[in-house]
Chains A and B, each alone.
Chain A
């Protein structure tokens, strides 16, 4: 993926250069070579007119499920990366809970091969922490790293064994891989299907207490302190988990965290109001309004590093089961950017530069991948944003193979206007 391009006339927002203003971006042979006002570009470099658009470092969704191999009826690497491009993302990091599980370098190689064929966006495989995600034996972190894996995780399940988590944190230090944890104490979440609180009480639905997450986060952070390992908390959902992360970071530990757009925008009351619509079922569950408010606060004050979609495609037939019987997860690649622009930026919760940090700079830094900046020397990955464009979320138009979103019908202002990957403009078919 390498091309040359000059993007002219846009408003460039790049927190790594403290830049927010009119500027051009020159990309040569796949990498940024200049960024600033009125750049001279060689005559043979094609121009992209970005007048009226915002130009930002390519967005990276650090938590998606592409379902290939094994569940191609839900999503494929082709359709998932097409959805990424349509949603304004130039890269995604995909979780290993496929069938077979990505617990072997051959799987990482396969995923990268499929991504290269698709050419819609970069794909960064995340390898399993344990063989078969079973939580007993470590996988080959070194060989996975060499094959192209950028992190390790048993996402979909927690690394439930304290002993295995401790070893993983120690061993991953050799390869500077973060352990991405799906923090859930299974004995506490048990048969729960929504947040345990007043709405689960009224519905008579088995609840998942916030403590199910917090107990695991707390355990993990003690192990981080013990090992010096690098830990990233996936889809954080509670106020207490956020406090634990803040404290660990204040103690100097190498700890980062992400939240999903749905945990920032929805609560258990929405689950109740939906009449237990399976599109409101995910893990961790939509939490209380107090949790949601704390997470929004953590975005603004910098305690939260990244926003990720936790894009989890499921076939419409699976979401046609009732709430309790239906699988966890919703898709988000094609809604996250507009949701963030409308509900967070337009409403003044965060500014655009902070959003770029959350959706690009921090994910690149945490995963140790190129991008996250438009400074010369960076990869030529760019997302174009039209702040004025009004969209209505319509699952029928999704490029993803799945339709499971709780945001159907939401009217949002601000939308992706295109992506550039390695200097090559991605033309949606």
Chain B
């Protein structure tokens, strides 16, 4: 008997995933899509399992998506966020880990403003850890749901021209997506104003350009990143209107992309800043499909990790 493809107890980053593992998550997610269409949107897969959602940084979208995924899998879940938690800044990782262990969770979903905190916790606790975003480092479930959405729409990822545009320096979405999409064989270009590019951006593993037009020329997929408005104070761009003028995606600019190009955005979108409403709401937009697919992909990840952690393997 051959070894099962998925043997991980944690999902910390796309960086450590092989192509086969990525494909396995996407394939598994396919089987969870239809749960959302059932009259009773629930499967018993994680009954009796405890999942703790630990959000050290505010999040509505990702935390809700995980919460729905957990509920649809019948897991018992518990949400800690910075506002309601005594687990806070200044506590050592060891203390955080011990407190979590004391509650005996099966899985812990963690978002933290600092890179590699989920990795450090994973080393210290027995439960499976899912990285729901660590600073500007990785956001693996976002990249997996993006790849899933592309594959469903385009039938493949390999060979597609994909442009990712925006605040590359401070985006975990871009880091995980470049790793994930290039591993699946896509031709990825990142773009943004120079003030929003990290040092040596090529080391992310994608082609780098500094104009929106050049990035989306002939693209099959255009992924716009959210402009972090609070970063404007740090002089990354002078005004919202100037950003929109030079880096905003309009229907006019979109003509440079393929006729059947799809538009993606991790949300929440800033209308009239990185994306024009006509584009966000237009036929090419798959932004809401990303949200829906996010639940299925997170169900798949929770299911796969719980299976490894408990040694069980019951398909839904």
A205 within 8 A of B: yes
Contact of A202 among B112, B113, B171, B204 (CB under 8 A): B204
Complex CA distance for A198 and B137, rounded to whole angstroms: 13
Residues of A with C-beta under 8 A to B138: 204
A332 within 8 A of B: no
Minimum Cβ distance to chain B for residue A224 (Å): 30
| In the complex, per-residue mask of B219-255: 1 if CB is within 8 Å of any chain A CB, else 0 | 0000000000000001000000000000000000000
Residues of A with C-beta under 8 A to B175: 202, 204
Task: State the total of A-B contacts with C-beta under 8 angstroms.
Answer: 70
B51-105 with Cβ < 8 A to chain A:
89-90, 92-94
A200 within 8 A of B: yes
| In the complex, per-residue mask of A185-210: 1 if CB is within 8 Å of any chain B CB, else 0 | 00000100000111111111101010
A290 within 8 A of B: no
A324 within 8 A of B: yes
In the complex, the answer to whether A204 meets B199 with C-beta atoms within 8 Å is: no
In the complex, the answer to whether B93 meets A320 with C-beta atoms within 8 Å is: yes
Minimum Cβ distance to chain A for residue B198 (Å): 4
Chain A residue at minimal CB-CB distance from B203: A198
Binding stretch for chain A, among B17-25, B30-38, B115-123: B115-123
Of A190, A202, A324, the most chain B CB neighbours within 10 A belong to A202
In the complex, the answer to whether B116 meets A207 with C-beta atoms within 8 Å is: no
B3 within 8 A of A: no
In the complex, the answer to whether A325 meets B89 with C-beta atoms within 8 Å is: yes
| In the complex, per-residue mask of B186-201: 1 if CB is within 8 Å of any chain A CB, else 0 | 0000000000001111
A51 within 8 A of B: no
In the complex, the answer to whether B89 meets A201 with C-beta atoms within 8 Å is: no
What total of chain B residues lie within 8 Å of the partner, measured CB to CB?
30
Complex CA distance for A126 and B81, rounded to whole angstroms: 45
Contact of A198 among B90, B92, B112, B200 (CB under 8 A): B200
Of A190, A197, A205, the most chain B CB neighbours within 10 A belong to A205
What are 28 pairs between A and B in contact, CB < 8 Å? A196-B198, A197-B199, A198-B199, A198-B200, A198-B203, A200-B199, A201-B198, A201-B203, A202-B203, A202-B204, A203-B137, A204-B134, A204-B135, A205-B115, A205-B137, A209-B199, A275-B120, A276-B115, A276-B120, A320-B94, A321-B90, A321-B93, A322-B114, A322-B117, A322-B120, A323-B114, A323-B116, A325-B114
What is the interface of chain B, defined by CB distance below 8 A to chain A? Answer: 89-90, 92-94, 112-117, 119-120, 134-138, 169-172, 175, 198-201, 203-204, 234
User: Assuming A204-B170, A320-B93, what are 7 further A-B pairs, CB within 8 angstroms?
Assistant: A190-B234, A200-B199, A201-B198, A203-B115, A204-B172, A205-B137, A325-B114
